Structure 1
Amino acid sequence: MGEPVVQEQLPLRVSLRDEATLENYHGEHNRQGLARVRQILAAPEPAVTVLCGGSGAGKSHLLNALCLAAEAQGDSALCLSLSEAQHLPAEALLGLEQFRLVCLDDLQALPADPAWEEALFHLHNRVLDAGGQLWIGAPAPPATMHWQLPDLASRLKAAAVIQLRSPEDDDLLHLLQARAASRGLELAEEVGRYVLRRAPRDTGSLLELLAQLDDASLRNQRRLTIPFVKTVMAW
């Protein structure tokens, strides 16, 4: 007689994809910065804004959230990381002014090439001439960075700068707990702090880790406990 077939219980939760929104950007210490972001986004006039901050401050989160918010309002938007530009010609920036909102992340990764600086300079001007908004993510204000093209340097130095602080442990814990709750997961404080002691500190890595734990929890029908997290992550 064969082994009885055991039907696996279907999980009650579904795995959800995290989306960066203005509403789920966490960090009490960046509340004023977020308010300024919303204010500029809602303004009808053209604008150039630089989001500055260290790793984990949420620059990429906000840039992606801005695109989602603009699209929700019926505007066209594009988010591009300049770290992807290393193997592209400077002409890759041509035509981007067709978008109402253009978000460029990782300004520090702009290739050290006069052609790229000139391309960014002209994109800056075309976006403003078209009545759009240009948002840039950078680890430091453009005024502190070295530029070969004086015209680009002067344009970027004139941009509005919003300084974002890197999150404290409590901010990251609240972020993880809120995202876990949105997935139907309960993340106890001691489990969250255990994760923070061992995981990378940037928001993107933490949310990827949470997605991995969510999948494991669904497959195994297990709650998130320290022993379970330790096993899943091989810590």
Structure 2
Amino acid sequence: MAEQLTFDLPVREALQREAFFVSPSNAIALATLDARQLWPSNKLVLTGPRGSGKTHMAHVWAMDCDAMIIGVDELAQADIPMLASLRNIVVEDADRIANVSDARATEEALFHLHNLTLAEGGHLLVTASTPPNLWKIGLPDLASRMQGTSVTKIDAPDDALLSAMLLKQFEDRQLAVSYPLIPFLVKRMERSTANLRRIVEALDAAALRLGKPISRKFAAQVLDNISLNTQDSI
């Protein structure tokens, strides 16, 4: 069969609360975010591995309390007093602070945002893959404030969460799949949320290129190809 011309169309990711699946691996973190009136000093760090749902959870919180979301790599150029005046702020991927182009300016911006937001009586939510004691922060005052911030964690995904995340990934890409495909993929795939997105992307690309539906047989072939490519790169 001749391969079809494909287009790299944008994926519309649903980030509303109703699209967020609650399971034992993330229920405590979500409940902690929902109880922001109980956060010590009105600040919280949300951690979890890449692809675990931190961004989705942060968007749910931001929608609930009309918060502004900003990436750590945007802080150095941001109007910090204006952000703090909004009272509720999310800073994403803070553990990458040492890798941004102007790390010193970014650290100073986060330090001032932290202080001004709390002085305004607002709430600061920070997301990261690792806890603050592992971040490479050069500014001592910022390091002490981040390390003194309470942490809530999204745990490794269970089968229920992996299944829900797979379904969401397919829905975000407007791909119709039969439900039996989901437990098949959960059983066969590496139990990693980062790997999950890669598998759905590969299935989507292969289905478009070959003009085939995503059946269990088709998925098994794609998973085998992914495994072979991974081994070749080792």
Closer, same or farther: CA 208–126 of 1 in aligned 2, 3 Å: farther
Counterpart secondary structure, 2:178: coil
Counterparts in 2 of 1:44-193, with a 5 A limit? 47-70=42-65, 75=66, 77-82=67-72, 84-85=73-74, 90-92=76-78, 94=80, 95-111=82-98, 113-177=103-167, 185=176, 187-193=178-184
Give the TM-score normalised by the residue count of structure 1.
0.68
Residue among 26, 30, 49 paired with 1:34: 30
| 2:71–2:91 contact (8 Å) kept in structure 1 | yes
| 1:56–1:167 contact (8 Å) kept in structure 2 | no
Q: What do the CA deviations read for 1:89-134 (whole angstroms, capped 9, x no partner)? A: 7242523213232111111211463322121111101111122111
Distance 1:127 1:43 in 2: 16
Distance 2:97 2:151 in 1: 18
Distance 2:199 2:63 in 1: 20
Distance 1:204 1:64 in 2: 22
Unaligned runs of 5+ in 2: 1-10, 226-234
Closer, same or farther: CA 126–158 of 1 in aligned 2, 3 Å: same
Q: What do the CA deviations read for 1:151-187 (whole angstroms, capped 9, x no partner)? A: 1112112212102212134421133346768979453
Distance 1:164 1:44 in 2: 17
| 1:57–1:164 contact (8 Å) kept in structure 2 | yes
Query: For structure 1, which segment, 122-131 or 141-150, has the greater mean C-alpha deviation from structure 2 after superposition?
Result: 141-150
Q: Which has the higher helix share?
A: 2
| 1:53–1:59 contact (8 Å) kept in structure 2 | yes
Q: CA deviation at 1:228?
A: 5.3
Identity value in percent: 26
Distance 2:170 2:47 in 1: 27
Distance 1:52 1:107 in 2: 10
Distance 2:195 2:189 in 1: 15
Counterpart secondary structure, 1:28: coil
Q: CA deviation at 1:20?
A: 1.9
Distance 2:43 2:221 in 1: 47
Closer, same or farther: CA 21–166 of 1 in aligned 2, 3 Å: farther
Unaligned runs of 5+ in 1: 1-15
Q: Aligned residues, how many?
A: 209
Distance 2:178 2:190 in 1: 15
